[in-house]
Amino acid sequence: MSNITEEIKKRRTFAIISHPDAGKTTLTEKFLLYGGAINLAGSVKGRKAAKHAVSDWMEIEKERGISVTSSVMQFNYDGYCINILDTPGHQDFSEDTYRTLMAADSAVMVIDGSKGVEAQTIKLFKVCVMRHIPIFTFINKMDREARDPFELMDEIETVLGIRTCPVNWPIGCGHEFKGVYDRNKKTITTFQAAMGGQKTVDATEVLLGDPQVDWLIGEDYHHQLMEDIELLDGASDELDMDRVGKGNLSPVFFGSALTNFGVETFLQHFLQMTTTPLPRLADKGVIDPFEEKFSAFVFKIQANMNKAHRDRIAFMRIVSGKFEAGMEVNHVQGGRKLRLSQPQQMMAQDRKIVEEAYAGDIIGVFDPGIFSIGDTLCLSNEKFEYEGIPTFAPEHFARVRQMDTMKRKQFIKGVNQIAQEGAIQIFQEFNTGMEEIIVGVVGELQFEVLTYRLENEYNVEVKLEKLPYEYIRWVENKDEIDVAKIQGTSDMKRIKDLKDNPLLLFVNSWSVGMVLDRNPGLKLSEFGKN
């Protein structure tokens, strides 16, 4: 086996998705702890603070003490080389969060056991489903009062529409959390909390039939467990790895990230079950990651707000082969050959210059303004394009007006450049030109970023007037339909993008259904094509 094949085989690249506060950071931190990337848990949270000191990323990030863009962490564990893609939440939720999922090969979905499936999980989950990538569920915070596990399974299946297969099963929760039952090994591991940066705990593991069980978990819980097992064995899906691979079945694990219970077992199972780097579709066909020729696509562009060097970093996912620093590549969409200077890789806490990287890895390269989201890079004697990255539906809209009409040119230039980076989407009124611009964003913070950047980088002061729309749909069959004649609802608005593609805006999801009902043959989509 060649060295390249061996390296690629070791790669596991996944994203962690969750609703804020479900425990994503805590779980990531524990993963890194096992990999030895950090010595003491707690460092990941510190990462946000530490980053301000070392980086000159966005001013807003500094001012607000939050991280605006998602990052990648790489670490080694048990012979694997793991890339975790972080998907930012809270108010820094943006289109970047979605795009990050385009670079992942599988997803870990963290769910708070007391809350179940929450809004942001649903949104991110939809993108994973679109890509048919394997999804693993970690039901967290079992050391706290949690909902009935059967009810949680049921909610995942009905709300998210994916079948589930519990790999382990909780025994009690909160103060009465006794441990978990491993359905495959038929063993019970009793709950022990490891606090702080502790890696291991002295948990007891016994076989289900062991006479100690009654004593360890109590007679009532033992009885309950036997009933649960019977129900599970009778009613839940088999762990069919084929279905897991296609994203039709999610293996479910219960645990507690904070007390480090069930985390390493989860990591081990997950690494065995998840996939090596997946092939990707290009215009010339499917590209195999193990092909030795390097290729990659850009999935994220991050602007540097430091005035002293107004550059950008383009993040790319390596799809095939090996990358070597200084190597000459063909930037297909740009139509030119270039050398990637100073490629960087994000480690747990800082970035470092990489000398080599392999399919599955993410690297960031200095971008003097030549890259766009979705661009392909391949060997200099090759030429093909990866399938584009879809445009995700913005949920907040505003009309943007410049205060000084004399600065029209800068305004248009600024808005266009920021849109090219993928931070915002721009639209126009359906029947007019660029006199009025409507901006759509996935996360509201992007409005602030836009106002700030237009003022600081382009010297244009703008006023934003928020619009009430929250739902946008692309008209898929625009050539068959006369958009002007669509029977709308009173809250529907027609707009178009810069390529004149028609779109519809709605205040609520009910109207979307109504318009579909009223216009047979109309096809609407939540994702736009670039």
Q: Which residues bind ligand GDP (CB under 6 A)?
A: 18, 20-26, 89, 140-141, 143-144, 256-258
Supply φ then ψ for residue 304, to 5 degrees. Answer: -100, 125
- DSSP annotation of 99 reads H
- Residue 432 beta carbon to ligand GDP: minimum distance, rounded to whole angstroms: 43
- Residue 38 beta carbon to ligand GDP: minimum distance, rounded to whole angstroms: 15
Residues pairing with 75 in the sheet: 82
513 annotated ligand-binding residue = no
Residue 141: Cβ-neighbour burial (10 angstroms; 0-12, 13-18, 19+): buried
Q: In what order do the strands lie in the sheet with 187-190?
A: 168-171, 179-182, 187-190, 205-207
434 annotated ligand-binding residue = no
368 annotated ligand-binding residue = no
Cβ closest to ligand GDP, residue 167 vs residue 438: 167
Cβ closest to ligand GDP, residue 72 vs residue 438: 72
90 annotated ligand-binding residue = yes
24 annotated ligand-binding residue = yes
In this structure, are strands 295-303 and 312-320 parallel, antiparallel, or unpaired?
antiparallel
Shortest CA distance to 398 belongs to which of 378, 425, 364? 425
- Residue 183 beta carbon to ligand GDP: minimum distance, rounded to whole angstroms: 21
**CA 16, CA 87: separation in Å to the nearest integer?**
7
Cβ closest to ligand GDP, residue 28 vs residue 425: 28
- Residue 98 beta carbon to ligand GDP: minimum distance, rounded to whole angstroms: 17
Cβ closest to ligand GDP, residue 25 vs residue 83: 25
Cβ closest to ligand GDP, residue 225 vs residue 258: 258
- Residue 143 beta carbon to ligand GDP: minimum distance, rounded to whole angstroms: 5
- Residue 46 beta carbon to ligand GDP: minimum distance, rounded to whole angstroms: 12
Q: What angle do CA 73, 75, 78 make, to 5 degrees?
A: 150
Shortest CA distance to 324 belongs to which of 335, 313, 334, 339? 339
Cβ closest to ligand GDP, residue 90 vs residue 246: 90
3-state SS class at 339: strand
Q: Which amino acid makes up residue 182?
A: D
- Residue 141 beta carbon to ligand GDP: minimum distance, rounded to whole angstroms: 4
Shortest CA distance to 48 belongs to which of 110, 6, 90? 90
520 annotated ligand-binding residue = no
161 annotated ligand-binding residue = no
Task: Return the structure tokens found at 146.
Answer: 């949690």
Cβ closest to ligand GDP, residue 20 vs residue 197: 20
Integer CA distances (angstroms), 401 to 462, 472, 505, in order: 5, 21, 19
Question: Which residue's structure tokens are 């979605």?
Answer: 98
Cβ closest to ligand GDP, residue 260 vs residue 330: 260
3-state SS class at 294: coil
Task: Return the structure tokens found at 123.
Answer: 């949104």
Task: Return the structure tokens found at 347.
Answer: 């480690």
Instruction: Determine which helix (DSSP H) or strand (DSSP E) holds 403, and give its type and residue range.
Output: none
223 annotated ligand-binding residue = no
- Residue 424 beta carbon to ligand GDP: minimum distance, rounded to whole angstroms: 25
3-state SS class at 348: coil
21 annotated ligand-binding residue = yes
96 annotated ligand-binding residue = no
Residue 226 near residue 213 (C-beta atoms within 8 A): no
In angstroms, the first-to-last Cα distance of the chain is 39
140 annotated ligand-binding residue = yes
Cβ closest to ligand GDP, residue 20 vs residue 245: 20
Task: Return the structure tokens found at 501.
Answer: 């593609």
Cβ closest to ligand GDP, residue 139 vs residue 398: 139
Beta strands in 405-479 (DSSP E): 425-429, 437-441, 462-467, 471-475
- Residue 254 beta carbon to ligand GDP: minimum distance, rounded to whole angstroms: 10
- Residue 109 beta carbon to ligand GDP: minimum distance, rounded to whole angstroms: 11
86 annotated ligand-binding residue = yes
**CA 187, CA 482: separation in Å to the nearest integer?**
63
23 annotated ligand-binding residue = yes
141 annotated ligand-binding residue = yes
In this structure, are strands 249-254 and 205-207 parallel, antiparallel, or unpaired?
unpaired
Cβ closest to ligand GDP, residue 25 vs residue 446: 25
Residue 512 near residue 471 (C-beta atoms within 8 A): yes
Residues pairing with 323 in the sheet: 357
- Residue 131 beta carbon to ligand GDP: minimum distance, rounded to whole angstroms: 22
Extract the annotated binding site for GTP.
18-25, 86-90, 140-143
Extract the annotated binding site.
18-25, 86-90, 140-143
